[in-house]
Amino acid sequence: MEAKEKINWTVEGMDCATCALTINKYLNKEGAKDVRVNFATGNVSFENSGSAPVEKISKGLAGLGYKVVNKSAAPSHGHDHSHEEKQSGFLKNNQQRFWFCLPFTLVLMLHMFPAMHDSWLMQPYVQLLLCLPVYVVGTSFFGISAWKSIRNGMPNMNVLIAIGATAAFIYSLYGLITGQHAYIFFETAATVITLVFLGNYVEERAVQSTQSQLKKLAETQVVMANMIAYDSDHNENVFPVESSALRTGDLILLKSGEQVPTDCKILWGDVSVNESIITGESVPVSKGKKARLIGGSIITDGTAKAQVTAVGNDTVLSGIIHMVEEAQGEKPPVQQMADKISAVFIPVVLGIAALTLIINWVVLKDFTPSLMRAIAVLVIACPCAMGLATPAAIAVGLGRGARNGILFRNATSLEHFKDIRQVVFDKTGTLTTGKFSISNYKILDPRIDEAAFKLLVYSLEKYSNHPIAKVFAKEWKANGEIRWQKIDEIKGEGMRASDKGGNEYRAGSYKIAAHLTKDDTHNIYVVENNQLIGYIDVVDELRPEAKSVVNYFHSKNIKTILLSGDKKAKAEHIAGILGIDEVIAEKKPEEKLAIVAKKNAEAPTAMVGDGINDAPALAQATIGISMSDASQIAMQTAQVVLMNHGLKNLPTALGLGRHTYKTIKENLFWAFSYNIIAIPVAALGFLTPQFGALVMAFSDVVLALNSGRLAIKKVK
């Protein structure tokens, strides 16, 4: 099996969405897998199987007109680096090019004022000299990009701009040489180039603004930290360092009002922490010894000493940013049609422009207005709008989700939310808090005293991952635990162990004691050598928001189902309190998988579980939603992760998915409508090339602004 290397690059030079298609097509041709190209950020990720060396792929992208400015096999979260790169040097970005071209173009446009008609500035050779710098700058950008795209069989929108501006310039040059001053339109060539540079710059700013939510997360990654070190006399010294200099195992001091510099574990002290950067919940939570803190959260009160547990790309926040960036680069099904149209759009527009020129020349019997109409068709067509429709909406939707503790692992899950007709809930840790307490226990064997019973149960349950087992590790922890010869956890039943004397002990559900007692009302049964020696009852409180979440789904006509391994009576009791429609109880993990598969076949189904024990069932659902705490494991389990058990955010996740899809549809409608209307209007002579360039330049801004509404609109 060939080893696959995960590559994450920042690529400069993507001027439109067709550029992203070009890069995608090239990487697939080179054998890359799981290709994701994010036009909005410049991020490109793919799996390289080794069929083509990475350096060769990088050079190939350079041949296409794109530059890899950040090469890394690890997640790259600084997508602004590409913009920093663009800012260096003279005329290296659209803003600089626009300001350079603007003075020349404004002077050329003075012919619109009658008083200037006899001015020396309006002389043909002066107009040529004024237009030439603009045309050279435009050709060096649009022309080179257009040529490379044509050479590689994937023409981009710069082909249209380059041909339109060149046609106006060459025609004007012909008029100048032949002395036919009525044919001189140098201002048209200059205006088209200048306005498209302006439009590209405004578009870049608008697209970057859709990344604002993600930028806020990224900006919290490098802060100052108070590092603790000890000298040779064991005296404690505290000194400031950048969080990027911290390493796993370092000791840091956390003080009130400061930002937690990186993931860490409290060794001493108690603090109140605002984790809204991760969860969207601004109410501070209390954290004490051994509690884990997420980098980026804020200490609102208290002081603590902590040990660094993760740095750089291994932190929770880095994982979130990387996951959101990857999801932004993925194309949901709704974008496939737009991509197919974008791929053939340029040749079609060139054909329409040629027909416009020929037909108007035949009808009007005048080449000059016919050429102007053809140029107007070229510059008003906008393939970017179709390619940008989805990335812009997804960027905002995913960014808002991340700021509210809702992580979408892929863009497809955003789209699938619109189809969900039923939601399956796991019980423990999902609808309940998962924080159990022992309410009652009884020892049935007179040979065993209370201390021995507790020690036995603790020694068994400490090896279990089940949420109920944690209560015994907390409340019945004792010294001198039993050393087992062998111990196993049987899913759906509980723990089984044997000691050196050959005695077998079991602690688990009623299934292990069904042949020993008819009483099935307890949570934990304890069996020694096939003899029932005791039972234990635990209680788990319902989450206060569970009722309102269930009611929300009912208001949207979505069926609710409780799927649990617990006793039917207990499951039905909880379902009755919450108003859940259907109860399926006493099921093992493998049975849950089959049930979710069956439900999914009936109607699109979302499942909400803990992300660990329910992993197979979560994967089987149309959308798997993990309720696990912020961890790398949780992020790899389900399509959607609700951070820090954020059940209250589930309605927002559903609403965000639906409204993101709605925004994508609105964007695509605008993109298609714009081109369907604008091209014929230009072909019939109702738009000048200059005005067409202005309209085209700002068409993408409409999409970015519409997408930006997702950041603030009500989505529930």
Rounded distance, CA 716 to CA 713, Å?
9
**Rounded distance between C-alpha atoms, residue 306 and residue 274, angstroms:** 17
Write down the pLDDT at residue 336: 63
Bridge partners (DSSP) of residue 606 are 423, 623
Residue in 617, 209, 214, 659 with CA at minimum distance from that of residue 414: 659
pLDDT at 163 over 80: yes
Helix (H) or strand (E) holding 641: strand 640-642
pLDDT computed for residue 221 by the predictor: 60
Question: Higher-confidence residue: 341 or 330?
Answer: 341
**Mean pLDDT, the chain, as a whole number?**
81
Distance from chain centroid for Cα 239: 36
Question: Does residue 629 carry a catalytic annotation?
Answer: no
473: its two tokens: 């590790």
User: Span 581-599, mean pLDDT?
Assistant: 86
Over range 450-468, report the average pLDDT: 87
Instruction: Tell me the range of 16-20, 54-58, 116-120 where mean pLDDT is highest.
Output: 54-58
pLDDT band at 281 (very low <50, low <70, confident <90, very high): low
Domains detected in the chain: 108-113+130-211+323-383+662-711 (no CATH), 222-314 (2.70.150.10), 435-540 (3.40.1110.10)
Assess whether pLDDT exceeds 70 at residue 77.
Answer: no
Pairwise pLDDT comparison (330 vs 75), residue with the higher score? 330
CB distance 539 to 434 below 8 Å:
no
pLDDT reported for residue 89: 59
Return the ∠ at Cα 664 (arms to 659 and 670), rounded to 5°: 125
Beta carbons of 277 and 296 less than 8 angstroms apart: yes
Q: How far apart are CA 452 and CA 443, in angstroms?
A: 10
| pLDDT over threshold 70, residue 520 | yes
Per-residue pLDDT at 457: 92
Give the pLDDT band of residue 81 (cuts 50, 70, 90): very low
Q: What is the pLDDT of residues 290-302, one digit of tens each?
A: 888 888 888 988 9
Q: What is the mean pLDDT of residues 84-97?
A: 67
pLDDT of residue 639: 81
Contact 228, 236 (CB under 8 A): yes
- For residues 231-250, average pLDDT: 83
pLDDT of residue 586: 81
More confident residue, 604 or 569: 604
Range in 113-117, 132-136, 547-551, 614-618 with the lowest mean pLDDT: 113-117
Contacts of 377 (CB under 8 A, 6+ apart): 349, 352, 353, 356, 679, 682, 683, 692
| pLDDT at position 83 over 50 | no
> Of 15, 263, 426, 540, which residue is the catalytic one?
426
pLDDT in tens, 388-428: 777 778 878 888 887 788 888 777 787 788 889 999 998 87
* DSSP character at residue 579: T
CB-based burial label for 294 (10 Å; 0-12, 13-18, 19+) = buried
What percent of the chain is predicted at pLDDT more than 90? 19
Cβ(200)–Cβ(86) below 8 Å: no
409 vs 658: CA distance, rounded Å? 16
**For 259, left (φ over 0), alpha (ψ -120 to 50), or beta?**
beta
245-272 tens-digit pLDDT: 888 999 999 988 888 888 899 999 999 9
Q: Mean pLDDT highest for which of 382-386, 461-465, 552-556, 647-651?
A: 552-556
- Which residues are bridge partners to 540 per DSSP? 436
pLDDT at residue number 86: 43
| Cα atoms in the 13 Å half-sphere on the side-chain side of 153 | 3
Lowest mean pLDDT among 222-236, 532-546, 660-674, 678-692: 222-236
Q: Which one of 393-397, 437-441, 495-499, 521-525 scores highest in mean pLDDT?
A: 495-499
Per-residue confidence (pLDDT) for residue 423, from 0 to 100: 94
Give pLDDT, residue 132: 94
Task: Give residue 612's pLDDT.
Answer: 59
pLDDT at residue 528, as a whole number: 94
- Rounded distance, CA 112 to CA 442, Å? 97
Mean pLDDT check: name the lowest of 193-207, 305-319, 358-372, 581-595: 193-207
Instruction: Please state whether beta strands 623-626 and 605-609 pair in parallel, antiparallel, or not at all (unpaired).
Output: parallel
Which band of pLDDT confidence, cut at 50, 70 and 90, is reported for residue 640?
confident
User: Of the given ranges (12-21, 133-142, 286-295, 303-312), which has the lowest mean pLDDT?
Assistant: 12-21
Q: Is the pLDDT of residue 303 over 80?
A: yes
Is residue 559 predicted with pLDDT exceeding 70? Answer: yes
Between 261 and 220, whose confidence is greater? Answer: 261
pLDDT at residue 578 in the model: 92
pLDDT at 79: 40
